[in-house]
Amino acid sequence: MAYEDLRDWLKRLERDGELKRVTEQVSPILEMAEVADRAAKSGRGTLKAGGPALLFENIEGYPGARVLMNQFGSERRMRLALEVESLDDIAGRIEDLLHPKQPMGMLDKLKMLPKLAEIGGYFPKTVAAKDAPCKEVILRGDDVDVLKFPILQTWPGDGGRFITLPCVVTRDGKTGKRNVGMYRMQVFDGKTTGMHWQRQKNAAEHLRDALRAGATDGRERVEWMAETAGGTAPGIALTKMQGRRMEVAVAIGTDPATTFSAIVPAPPEVEEYLIAGFLRQRAVELVKCETVDLEVPAAAEIVLEGYVDLGELRSEGPFGDHTGFYTMPDEYPLFHITCITHRKDPIYAATIVGKPPMEDAWMGKAVERIFLPLMKLTLPEIVDVNLPAEGVFHNLMIVSIKKSYAGQARKVMNGIWAMGQAMFTKCIVVVDEDCDVQDLGEVVLRATNNIDPERDIQFTLGPVDSLDHASRMPNYGSKMGIDATRKWAAEGFTRPWPEMLTMPADVKARVDTLWKRLGIS
Ligand SMILES: Cc1cc2nc3c(=O)[nH]c(=O)nc-3n(C[C@H](O)[C@H](O)[C@H](O)COP(=O)(O)O)c2cc1C
Q: Is the pLDDT assigned to residue 115 strictly greater than 80?
A: no
Does ligand 1 come within 6 angstroms of the Cβ of 365? no
* For residue 457, pLDDT beyond 50: yes
Dihedral sign (CA 166, 204, 260, 422): negative
For residue 203, the CA-to-ligand 1 centroid distance in Å is 10
Q: What is the chain's mean pLDDT, rounded? A: 92
User: Using a 6 Å cutoff on CB, does residue 70 contact ligand 1?
Assistant: no
Instruction: Please count the CA atoms within 13 angstroms of the CA of 85 that sit on its side-chain side.
Output: 3
Strand ranges across the sheet with 125-126: 125-126, 285-288, 295-297
Atom of ligand 1 nearest to the CA of 351: 1
Specify which of 103-107, 133-137, 310-314 reaches the highest per-range mean pLDDT: 133-137
Q: How far is CA 228 from CA 161, 203, 208, 335, in A?
A: 25, 12, 7, 15
Q: What's the confidence (pLDDT) of residue 223?
A: 46
CA distances from 4 to 81, 264, 280, 348 (A): 12, 20, 10, 17
The mean per-residue pLDDT over the stretch 48-72 comes to 95
Closest CA to 299 of 230, 262, 347, 350: 347
The pLDDT-based confidence of 434 (bands split at 50, 70, 90) is very high
Any ligand 1 atom below 6 A from CB of 263: yes
pLDDT, tens digit, for every residue of 471-484?
999 999 999 999 99
pLDDT at residue 210, as a whole number: 87
Q: How far is it, in rounded angstroms, from Cα 340 to Cα 191?
A: 10
Instruction: Please give the pLDDT value at position 293.
Output: 97
User: pLDDT at position 231, please?
Assistant: 46
Angle, helices 6-15/75-82, rounded to nearest 10 degrees: 130
pLDDT value for 146: 98
The per-residue pLDDT for 235 is 46
Among 240-244, 265-269, 285-289, 300-304, the minimum mean pLDDT is found in 240-244
Instruction: Please choose, from the candidates 285, 323, 281, 258, the residue with its C-alpha nearest in 3D space to the C-alpha of residue 72.
Output: 258
Q: Residue whose CA is closest, atom 22 of ligand 1? A: 181
Give residue 238's pLDDT.
Answer: 59
Position with higher pLDDT, 211 vs 41: 41
CA of 323 to the centre of ligand 1 (A): 13
pLDDT tens figures, 387-414: 999 999 999 999 999 999 999 999 999 9
Atom 31 (ligand 1): residue with closest C-alpha? Answer: 360
Give the pLDDT score at 277: 96
Q: For ligand 1, is residue 149 a contact (CB within 6 Å)?
A: no
Backbone angles phi, psi at 142, to 5 degrees: -65, -20
Span from the CA of 198 to the centroid of ligand 1 (angstroms):
8
31-45, 180-194, 223-237, 363-377, range with the lowest pLDDT: 223-237
Ligand 1 midpoint to CA 317 (Å): 15
Residue 360 near ligand 1, beta carbon < 6 Å: yes
Q: From the candidates 5, 37, 172, 321, which is the catalytic residue?
A: 321
- Where is 482: in which H helix or E strand? strand 476-483
Q: How far apart are CA 144 and CA 289, in angstroms?
A: 15
Question: What's the number of CA atoms in the CB half-sphere (13 Å) around residue 113?
Answer: 5
Query: What is the rounded CA–CA span in Å between residue 346 and residue 59?
Result: 14
- Mutating to test ligand 1, I would choose from 263, 319, 468 the residue with most ligand atoms within 8 A of its C-beta, which is 263
Ligand 1: centre distance to CA 253 (Å): 16
Roughly what angle, to the nearest 10 degrees, separates helices 88-98 and 359-378? 30
Q: Which is more confident, 214 or 461?
A: 461
Alpha-carbon Rg for the chain, nearest whole angstrom, is: 25
- pLDDT greater at residue 371 or residue 43: 371
Ligand 1 atom index nearest CA of 268 = 26
Q: What is the pLDDT of residues 143-157, one digit of tens each?
A: 999 999 999 999 999
Report whether 122 contacts 280 (CB < 8 A). Answer: no
Please report the pLDDT score of residue 217 as a whole number: 52
How far, in Å, CA of 484 to CA of 378, rounded? 21
From the CB of 203, is ligand 1 less than 6 Å away?
yes
Q: For residues 55-82, give the mean pLDDT.
A: 97
Model pLDDT, residue 239: 62
Going by CA atoms, what residue is nearest to atom 21 of ligand 1? 265
Q: Is the beta carbon of 198 within 6 A of some atom in ligand 1?
A: yes
Q: How confident is the model at residue 4 (pLDDT cuts 50, 70, 90)?
A: very high
Q: What is the pLDDT of residue 92?
A: 87
pLDDT digits (tens, 9 = 90+) for 505-514: 999 999 999 9
Ligand 1 center to residue 166 CA distance, Å?
10
Residue 451: Cβ-neighbour burial (10 angstroms; 0-12, 13-18, 19+): middle
pLDDT per residue as tens digits for the range 195-253:
999 999 999 999 988 887 776 554 444 344 445 444 444 444 556 667 789 999 999 99
Higher pLDDT, 117 or 430: 430
Look up residue 231 and give its amino acid. G
pLDDT at residue 310 tops 80: yes
Quick check: bond before 318 cis, omega within 30? yes
Query: Ligand 1 pocket: which of 155, 201, 465 to mutate (most atoms <8 Å of CB)?
Result: 201
Does the beta carbon of 351 lie inside 6 Å of ligand 1? yes
CA of 112 to the centre of ligand 1 (A): 36
Cα–ligand 1 centroid distance for 309 (angstroms): 21
Residue 197 alpha carbon, nearest atom of ligand 1: 11
Does 353 sit in the ligand 1 pocket, CB within 6 Å? Answer: yes
Q: Which of 135, 106, 73 is nearest to 352 (CA)?
A: 73
Per-residue pLDDT at 521: 80
The closest alpha carbon to 425, from 471, 379, 383, 382, belongs to 471
Residues 6+ apart with CB under 8 A from 423: 200, 417, 462, 463
pLDDT > 60? residue 68: yes
Query: Which pLDDT belongs to residue 216?
Result: 56
Instruction: Specify the 3-state DSSP secondary structure of 216.
Output: coil
Q: Is-contact 159 185, C-beta < 8 A?
A: no
Atom of ligand 1 nearest to the CA of 466: 11
Q: Which runs of consecutive H residues, i.e. helices, occur in 440-487?
A: 440-449, 453-456
Instruction: Please check the confidence at residue 431 and state whether its pLDDT lies above 60.
Output: yes
Residue nearest atom 7 in ligand 1 by C-alpha distance: 183
Alpha helices in 16-69 (DSSP H): 31-41
Check whether 270 has a pLDDT greater than 80: yes
User: Which residue out of 158, 164, 183 has the highest number of ligand 1 atoms within 8 Å of its CB and is therefore the one to mutate?
Assistant: 183
Mean pLDDT along residues 300-323: 95
Higher confidence at residue 237 or residue 491? 491
265 lines ligand 1 (CB under 6 A): yes
Q: Is 321 assigned a catalytic role?
A: yes
Say if ligand 1 is within 6 A of residue 363 CB.
yes
Nearest CA to ligand 1 atom 26: 181
Ligand 1 contact via 280 beta carbon (within 6 Å): no
